[in-house]
């Protein structure tokens, strides 16, 4: 029996599903199932009852879960104590975040963090549509998540969150599109209701806020293509296949032959937040990372860089907004 097996067992017990637990542990399901099998073999009794749509704990599994959680907690506290004594000049920081944040916003944070903690290893786990609930069911030190309808849902460990900024979606279209030469005012969704759209797939974090904005505008968009990759939206729009929506934070990049416009209300937007477990103390490394996250969020008051400003004629505040006081979901 080893700590990895205990971790997998606790993850399955919380998720009540092998596939879900494997995703949260960032491991292939066959490997996780194999380790659970070895654990059951050593215990001499099954810890799960396999059902068609998931698993339930057996009597033995219910009893064993209490001790497994205590062991993992004690080991985590012991490692934390040793790390604190070493002033966290080395170590590993697990970060769970949204893919778009990892692509367009996180590099600025990590670059600044590296200047102070060059030897700390950062493990980034990208999770589409990551919410505080998802973070609470995963194993990570910190999370950069989106707040949504399930932000108050109970997870398997209490989670504290702090709002960082509002991530708006903007309309993008080829430079040859009529909107490219019609000024830089925000565009209503009704003004583009006849266009063909390139949108992200429903499992992406942005899809729900986009769908909600269209519904509030009373529009059924004509979706030509769907993709799970935000960069693919750009490529397809550039190829003339339609117009699309991308996160405002992506507009820091230079996209040749592409133009963007803000959207009038209802604006597709989501709140990006910092998350951490509230039932355990953060390591100095995690605390330092959190501080830099707040600094970057507070300083990146716009998503437009000089090139985006030049293309659109006027600087617009599209990115971070001042962080609000933290709160803990019920």
For residue range 96-150, list pLDDT tens digits in order: 999 989 999 999 999 999 998 888 889 999 988 888 988 988 888 999 999 976 5
For residue range 226-279, list pLDDT tens digits in order: 888 888 888 999 888 999 998 888 887 777 888 888 998 888 888 999 999 987
Contact 132, 161 (CB under 8 A): yes
Domain limits of the chain? Answer: 3-84, 89-330
Residues 6+ apart with CB under 8 A from 105: 249, 296, 300
Q: Which fold would CATH assign to domain 3-84?
A: Arc Repressor Mutant, subunit A (1.10.10)
Q: What is the pTM of this model?
A: 0.65
* Separation between Cα atoms, residue 278 and residue 327, nearest integer Å: 10
Q: Check pLDDT > 70 for residue 302.
A: no
Peptide bond preceding 75 in cis form (omega within 30 of 0): no
Q: Which fold would CATH assign to domain 89-330?
A: D-Maltodextrin-Binding Protein; domain 2 (3.40.190)
Give the per-residue pLDDT at 154: 60
**Backbone dihedral angles phi then psi of residue 54, each to the nearest 5 degrees:** 150, -160
């Amino acid at each position: 029996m080893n700590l990895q097996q205990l971790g997998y067992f606790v993850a399955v017990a919380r998720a009540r599903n092998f596939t879900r637990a494997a995703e949260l542990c960032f491991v292939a399901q066959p490997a996780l199932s194999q380790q659970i099998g070895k654990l059951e073999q050593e215990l001499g009794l099954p810890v799960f009852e396999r059902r068609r749509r998931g698993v339930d704990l057996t009597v033995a599994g219910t009893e064993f879960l209490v001790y497994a959680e205590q062991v993992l907690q004690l080991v985590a506290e012991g490692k934390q104590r040793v790390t604190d004594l070493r002033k966290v000049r080395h170590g590993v920081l697990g970060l769970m975040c949204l893919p778009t944040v990892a692509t367009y916003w996180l590099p600025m944070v990590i670059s600044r963090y590296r200047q102070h903690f060059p030897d700390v290893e950062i493990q980034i786990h990208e999770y589409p549509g990551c919410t505080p609930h998802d973070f609470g069911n995963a194993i990570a030190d910190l999370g950069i998540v989106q707040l949504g309808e399930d932000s108050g849902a109970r997870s398997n460990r209490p989670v504290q969150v702090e709002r960082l900024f509002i991530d708006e979606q903007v309309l993008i279209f080829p430079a040859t599109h009529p909107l490219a030469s019609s000024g830089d005012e925000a565009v209503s969704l009704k003004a583009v209701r006849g266009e063909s759209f390139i949108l992200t797939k429903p499992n992406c974090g942005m899809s729900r806020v986009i769908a909600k904005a269209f519904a509030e505008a009373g529009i059924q968009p004509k979706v030509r293509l769907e993709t799970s990759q935000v960069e693919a939206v750009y490529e397809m729009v550039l190829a003339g296949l339609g117009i699309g929506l991308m996160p405002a934070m992506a507009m820091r990049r230079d996209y040749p032959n592409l133009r963007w416009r803000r959207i009038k209300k209802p604006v597709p937007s989501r709140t990006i937040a910092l998350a951490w477990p509230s039932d355990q103390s953060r390591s100095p490394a995690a605390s330092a990372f959190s501080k830099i996250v707040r600094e970057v969020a507070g300083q990146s008051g716009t998503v437009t860089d000089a090139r985006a400003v030049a293309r659109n004629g006027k600087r617009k505040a599209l990115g971070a907004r001042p962080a609000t006081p933290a709160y803990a979901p019920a």
